[in-house]
Structure 1
Amino acid sequence: MQNWTLKDEIREYWSSRAPTFDLSPGHEIFSDDERAAWHTLIHKHLGRGEGRKALDLASGTGVISRLLSEMGYDVTGIDFAGPMLERARQKAQDLALPIRFLEADAERTMMPEKAFDAIMTRHLVWTLPDPALAFADWFRVLKQGGRLLIVDVDSSARGARSVALRRMAALLRRIKPSAALPGRDRTIHDAIVSRVHFSEGARAEEIRDLLIGTGFVDVVIDRDHAAIRKAQAAHMPFVQRIERASQDRYAIRASKP
């Protein structure tokens, strides 16, 4: 299709995933233990809400927005996939949470300058076509002293243990293909991943360096996610647990001076 961009493909893909997105452990939260572990992570890096303004980037069906709202933040969630936003708005309404959801691009948010005390993303950065552009925009919309919290994953971790576990998971996927994404979704997913900036894996250290280059300070990589991983694993098929164990999963906190 003429003028059909990679960004359009990403939007279309996640829009198509919206009806089943919340069925997957690691997307939705399925236990009080996991919810508590996320609250602990957010408090560790962003602090209490106390009415402060927070922006949830690529909010999807509103899982992170809900966590932030529960902690007392005044939350705005943005996503450019309309079907995701429809579910996010309905979930917030059902829970009587005062969250605003807007359709917008996480790389060019169009949010006012210095509008937010905190920004949080989960599993967004690895999908970005232009992370430097995105980080500059996030820096712009943060207030002085505001904090950014990125939660993401390098699914191509290069250690021997990670490589062995990925091979094991791939073998199990071939034995039981029904456990994987449907074939068409997997093909589209892989075609998109091959063209994003972090197509070879979203290494935490590379993200850190890009953030520092943008002007962020006090950049910290936190790989202590044991409580979240344990709670999620209780609801995951075995092959998914193997895949997760092969990955480098991390949080990165950064501040605007």
Structure 2
Amino acid sequence: MPKANWTLKDDIREYWTSRAATFDLSPGHEIFGDDERRAWHALIERHLGAGGGRKALDLASGTGVISRLLCENGFAVTGLDFSEAMIEQARLKAAKHSLDATYVLGDAEETRLPDDAFDVIMTRHLVWTLPDPGTAFADWFRVLKPGGRVLIVDADTTARSMTSRLLQRLAAVLKRFARPSPTPGMDIEVHNRIVSQVHFSGGARAEDVAALLAGAGFETVVIDRDHGRIRRAQGRHMPLHQRLGRASQDRYAILATKPAAIPAAIDARSGQHAA
């Protein structure tokens, strides 16, 4: 049971802290092959372009997997995470690979970073955990430079079609006969308690995420479901039941752009004033 005065965000922070030491042991978290790394590089370049030294913010940076990819694509990276243990793992990885990345402790819904500070923002598997994504997206809008881009990689794990439901049922049956392989460091009770309270407790539908981004002032919001290369590369390191479970999910990337000229209404809403 949660402690007295314990909040949802305390649960989220401590849950990810408890997983920091073993997070990179799981396929789908760390990258285990060059084929997957190339697929991620292609996704980043397709939506964000070559880094060229531009400033990138990796939100909920965890152990620095996405930070490393962004650095390899030529970005100067700042990673922000809620968990000191995750940041420590990311710093060790950055030092090991001589990456142009720095890390700060912070809340992805209220980063407290300067206005107009970053050319791009990227997140992976963050949005589904946000208690208030509307507030978060408004803050991301604020810290991006005019014309800056945000790339969200996430998934709707709720089976909505007959095919998805069949795949989930088959995955559940096969899992019963598979060798036990619990996710390292995962407390399922805490995980389920968090999921039941976040904004997307019924599943992070890509269209709902896109609508919230538009509501925060972003434009040219594009949903990209072309994740076959990444999924196949990850699947080579997963048991069959996990591959089927993932195949039942809607895994997507969403690209959104901050307008080069900010409309007055949005400027006033964010507390900024046009010159």
The verdict on a shared fold, with TM-score over 0.5 as the criterion, is: yes
Instruction: Find the counterpart in structure 1 of residue 115 from structure 2.
Output: 113
CA apart distance, 1:98: 2.0
Is 185-194 or 5-14 further displaced after alignment?
A: 185-194
Corresponding residue SS for 2:25: coil
Change (3 A) 1:217 1:183: closer
CA apart distance, 1:237: 1.3
CA apart distance, 1:177: 7.2
Corresponding residue SS for 2:187: helix
Q: Distance in 2 between matches of 1:182 and 1:43?
A: 31
User: In 2, are the aligned partners of 1:173 and 1:180 still within 8 Å (CA)?
Assistant: no
Corresponding residue SS for 1:26: coil
Instruction: Find the counterpart in structure 1 of residue 272 from structure 2.
Output: none
Deviations 1:109-137 (A, max 9, x none): 11100000000000000010000010000
CA apart distance, 1:157: 3.1
**Unpaired runs of at least 5, structure 1:** none
Instruction: Find the counterpart in structure 1 of residue 86 from structure 2.
Output: 84
User: In 1, are the aligned partners of 2:156 and 2:204 still within 8 Å (CA)?
Assistant: yes
Q: Distance in 2 between matches of 1:136 and 1:11?
A: 21
Deviations 1:90-118 (A, max 9, x none): 01101111210111111111110000000
Instruction: Find the counterpart in structure 2 of residue 194 from structure 1.
Output: 196
Alignment of 1:164-203 (within 5 A): 164-176=166-178, 178-181=180-183, 185-203=187-205
Instruction: Find the counterpart in structure 1 of residue 125 from structure 2.
Output: 123
Instruction: Find the counterpart in structure 2 of residue 24 from structure 1.
Output: 26
Instruction: Find the counterpart in structure 2 of residue 255 from structure 1.
Output: 257
CA apart distance, 1:187: 1.5
Q: Distance in 1 between matches of 2:40 and 2:184?
A: 29
Query: How many pairs does the alignment contain?
Result: 257
Q: Distance in 2 between matches of 1:172 and 1:230?
A: 19
Corresponding residue SS for 1:178: coil
Q: Distance in 2 between matches of 1:87 and 1:112?
A: 25
Q: Distance in 2 between matches of 1:121 and 1:184?
A: 21
User: In 2, are the aligned partners of 1:223 and 1:250 still within 8 Å (CA)?
Assistant: yes
User: In 2, are the aligned partners of 1:173 and 1:179 still within 8 Å (CA)?
Assistant: no
Q: Among 140, 143, 147, which residue is 1:141 paired with?
A: 143
Deviations 1:166-199 (A, max 9, x none): 1122223334472344797112111110111001
TM-score relative to the length of structure 2:
0.91
Corresponding residue SS for 1:147: strand
Q: Which has the larger radius of gyration?
A: 2
Q: Distance in 1 between matches of 2:229 and 2:13?
A: 31
Q: What is the letter of the counterpart of residue 241 of structure 2?
A: V
% identical equivalent positions: 65
Deviations 1:21-48 (A, max 9, x none): 0001100000111111100000000011
Q: What is the letter of the counterpart of residue 129 of structure 1?
A: P
* RMSD across aligned positions (CA): 1.3
Q: Among 8, 13, 16, which residue is 1:14 paired with?
A: 16
**Unpaired runs of at least 5, structure 2:** 260-275
